[in-house]
Amino acid sequence: MARIVKRAYRYRFYPTPEQACELARTFGCVRLVYNKALEERTRAYTVEGRRVSYVESSASLTAWKRSKELAFLNEVSSVPLQQALRHLQAAFANFFARRAKYPTFKSRKRSRASAEYTRSAFRWRDGRLTLAKMHDPLEIAWSRPLPEGAEPSTVTVCRDAAGRWFVSLLVEETIRSLDPSESMVGVDAGITNLLALSRQIPGLTDKDGRVANPRHERDSRRRLTKAQRSLARKAKGSANRAKARLKVARIHARITDRRRDFLHKLSTRLVRENQVVVIEDLTVRNMVKNHALARSISDASWRELRSMLEYKANWYGRELLVVNRWFPSSKLCSACGALAESMQLHVRTWQCVCGAVHDRDINAAKNILAAGLAER
């Protein structure tokens, strides 16, 4: 079975000084339009008690362009500005549907600098991408090829805090389901070990079924601490502070890149080699409120791993099952089904009344698999 999915391919590119200047100006205009539209919607909602539609925001954008103070908005492509209004409309739709918090203003320092171009605002010819208001195509580092015959429908350009430029091409791709597999696996998330699996997977787990936690943030903590202390000593607004801030951002970017690469490889293997993957429904947002473990939980990035498992299972015809977070997976004996009265977190090995000796995490993974299959 094959399915057509929309998939984004992200590449790094190296703009010329003219292109960098044009994109920086576009980023600023996008942020300005988003913030002004948000301010207008907030005023209408709080003062007049009414909701502003996308059509009204678009009409306001036209009026802003005609004003003397904001005439510079005409110097950049109009498409990213319209897309900013669409993103704001989606943010309010999520807020009123109680799926998200109230939209916030974009900060020049803290928000990601990005602009989105639809098909009318870029030219794609012979594998070369040219954005509106630019004469030359972008110099893209093609780290992997696009699917044969793919035509980008949307292009998103961004610059991260480390000063790197990226372009994301959204294309339609046909993905064929993997051949059916008889293997199934239960997954228990942890900190000392990133995952404990209900079965061993050669090359991925140890002999018991554990996946080691690479601890990318802790591995770079000394360098990060040194760079942050150096940044704190620099005078605000100085050139040296800007250089120190860039150094800190590059260390964070390296940690993020290494973590994401590891999680992609891990999630791909779990999906490819198992027909059914069962996980726990963890509330990471509440768990990081434990300040003693917040840093380690954030470094493990369980939520990102779950997101990867969800869309990859959907792509490749696999089944991802989620077990209720209150299921007592650690205290339940996977051999006889007896439930222990209590179990402190420091207890890693325990013996059931039936005589079975369990590793806490491996036993939990086996119980998660059984519970998931029982609820199918």
pLDDT at position 106 over 80 = yes
- Whether residue 319 is contained in a domain is answered as yes
pLDDT band at residue 330 using 50, 70 and 90 as cut-offs: confident
On whether both 128 and 204 belong to a single domain, the answer is: no
Using an 8 Å Cβ cutoff, are 323 and 372 in contact?
yes
* Same domain? 100 vs 168: yes
Is the domain of 33 the same as that of 129?
yes
Examine the domain organization and report whether 200 and 275 are in the same domain.
Answer: yes
Please tell me whether residue 49 adopts helix, strand or coil conformation: coil
What's CA 333's distance to the chain center, in Å?
36
Question: Are the C-beta atoms of residues 116 and 108 closer than 8 Å to each other?
Answer: no
Mean pLDDT for 298-313 is 94
Task: Answer yes or no: are the C-beta atoms of 369 and 186 closer than 8 Å.
Answer: yes
Specify the length of the chain in residues: 376
Three-class DSSP category at 117: strand
Indicate whether 240 belongs to any domain: no
Assigned token pair, 25: 């100006």
Asked whether residue 252 is assigned to any structural domain, the reply reads: no
Residues 94 and 197 in one domain: no
Other beta carbons within 10 Å of 375: 12
The C-alpha atoms of residue 30 and residue 281 are separated, in whole angstroms, by 37
Mean pLDDT, range 72-96, rounded to an integer? 96
Q: What is the pLDDT of residue 356?
A: 87
Same domain for 123 and 12? yes
pTM of the full structure: 0.89
Q: How far is CA 104 from the centre of its chain?
A: 19
Domain count for the chain? 2
Give the Cα separation of 317 and 319 in Å (integer). Answer: 7
CA gap 360, 350 in Å, rounded: 7
pLDDT at 1 over 80: no
Tell me the backbone φ, ψ of residue 244, rounded to 5 degrees: -65, -40
Domain boundary among 112, 147, 176: 176
Same domain, yes or no, for 79 and 162?
A: yes
Q: How many other β-carbons are positioned within 10 Å of the β-carbon of residue 118?
A: 16
Whether residue 230 lies inside any domain: the answer is: no
Do 142 and 18 lie in one domain? The reply is: yes
Regarding whether 330 and 200 lie in a shared domain, the answer is: yes
Any idea which residue has 């493990």 for tokens?
A: 300
CATH of the domain at 361: 3.30.420
- Taking only the tens place, the pLDDT of each residue in 202-241 is 999 998 899 999 999 999 999 999 999 999 999 999 999 9
> What confidence category does residue 348 fall into, taking pLDDT thresholds of 50, 70 and 90?
confident
Task: For 147-216, give the secondary structure using H, E and C.
Answer: CCCCCCCEEEEEECCCCCEEEEEEEEEEEECCCCCCCEEEEEECCCEEEEECCCCCCCCCCCCEEECCCH
| 245 inside domain | no
Question: Span 177-199, mean pLDDT?
Answer: 93
What is the band of 353 on the pLDDT scale with cuts at 50, 70, 90?
Answer: confident
Please compute the mean of the pLDDT values over residues 257-280 and round it to a whole number: 96
Pairing of strands 357-359, 349-351: antiparallel
Token couple for 352: 């059931």
Quick check: is 257 in a domain? Answer: no
Contact 322, 281 (CB under 8 A): yes
In a domain, 125, yes or no: yes
Same domain, 317 and 205: yes
- What distance in Å separates the CA atoms of residue 368 and residue 81, rounded to the nearest whole number? 47
258: confidence class by pLDDT, cuts 50, 70, 90: very high
If asked whether residues 115 and 166 sit together in one domain, one would say yes
The answer on pLDDT for 89 being more than 80 is yes
Do 190 and 169 belong to one domain?
Answer: no
Q: Which residues are the active-site residues?
A: 188, 280, 361
Name the residue with higher pLDDT: 293 or 305.
305
Question: Does residue 309 fall inside a structural domain?
Answer: yes
- Token pair 């209408």 is found at 44
Confidence tier at 20 by pLDDT (50, 70, 90): very high
329 contact partners, CB below 8 Å, separation of at least 6: 188, 280, 323, 363, 364, 365, 367, 368, 371
Q: Let me know: does 168 contact 122? Beta carbons within 8 Å.
A: no
Q: DSSP label at 71?
A: G
Q: Which whole-number Å values give the CA distances from 63 to 58, 68, 70, 88, 177, in the listed order?
A: 9, 10, 9, 18, 50
**Where does the pLDDT of residue 24 fall: very low under 50, low under 70, confident under 90, or very high at 90 and above?**
very high
User: Higher model confidence: residue 289 or residue 280?
Assistant: 280
> Domain containing 124: what range?
2-176
Rounded to whole angstroms, the Cα distance separating 15 from 22 reads 10
Q: Over range 289-299, report the average pLDDT.
A: 86
Q: Identify how many contiguous H helices and E strands the chain contains and give both numbers.
A: 10, 14
**Token representation of residue 2:** 């094959």
Q: What is the mean pLDDT of residues 139-163?
A: 94
